[in-house]
Amino acid sequence: MTAPRIIAPLKRLQGLIAPIALLLLWQLLSSLAIINPQMLPTPWAVLSKWYEYASSGELPSDAVASLARVLGGFAIGTVLALPLGLMMGASQRAYSFFNPLVQIIRPIPPIAYIPLAILWFGIGNPPAYFLIAIGAFFPVLMNTIAGVRHVDSIYIRAARNLGANRATLFRRVMLPAATPYILTGMRIGMGTAFIVVIVAEMIAVNSGLGYRILEAREYFWSDKIIAGMLSIGLIGLAIDSAMNALNNRLLRWHRGIEN
């Protein structure tokens, strides 16, 4: 009983090796003046700026603004993608009807919609929500379609032999079997939403982490740029870890998840 309790924390600490090695290399290059400190400040300078950024109240305010946009846009994209994906996955007719349009629009990056978003919605949160929703929409949609269409035929035949009608078959067999795909799509969609919000904040709004990084660039504050980037990374890590934990909890019944 003691060995597993010791091994588990050690495995988690392995994830710190790469970040610590990168910090040491960064500090070494800065100490030897191999890199211009104006281009890449020392880790201590970035940490000092990050503390100043946080203590001034700007960082919490910007983080909350960015997170609110991510969650809002992600919710819009997911609510639109799930029913369409379930319908396209369950019905060959719906798939044949919508798939050509989806495949035409899907390769267009959300950034390409920025001029239209500003033209349609003006400046502020609405264009940001629109862009984030597009970024989250397609990962959720495509994974939902794949999940429903790849349900093992053995389950379907067994349910039909037991007398399940079409609605029961979809609700009790196809949807649970597709859940791992759907949750994976939502996890990817959340990551994409966080990428898109930074781009949207650099153009369409005047608050958030993306806006603050753009402002720092205008004044050539490299330390603040990197501090903002690290803040984005830490928040993204927290969101992804939370979604991964949620997935593991919801999919404990799935044979690919170990309790």
Q: What's the pLDDT score for residue 141?
A: 94
- Rounded to 10 deg, the angle between the 209-218 and 222-250 helix axes is 160
Number of other CB atoms surrounding residue 132 within 10 Å: 29
Handedness of CA 237, 24, 22, 14 (dihedral sign): negative
Containing 208, the helix (H) or strand (E) segment is: none
Residues in the chain predicted with pLDDT less than 70, given as ranges, are 1-13, 253-259
**Are the C-beta atoms of 223 and 49 separated by less than 8 Å?**
yes
Q: What's the pLDDT score for residue 258?
A: 46
Task: Note the maximum CA span of the chain.
Answer: 75
- Which structural domains are found in the chain, ordered by start? 1-35 (no CATH), 41-250 (1.10.3720.10)
Q: What's the pLDDT score for residue 31?
A: 73
Handedness of CA 186, 190, 196, 200 (dihedral sign): positive
Closest C-alpha among 194, 92, 94, 201 to residue 139: 194
Number of other CB atoms surrounding residue 242 within 10 Å: 11
123-161 tens-digit pLDDT: 888 999 999 999 999 999 999 998 888 877 777 777 777
Q: What's the pLDDT score for residue 6?
A: 54
Containing 222, the helix (H) or strand (E) segment is: helix 222-250
Euclidean distance between CA atoms 70 and 193, whole angstroms: 6
Radius of gyration of the chain (CA): 23
Global confidence as pTM: 0.80
Tokens of 178: 């597709």
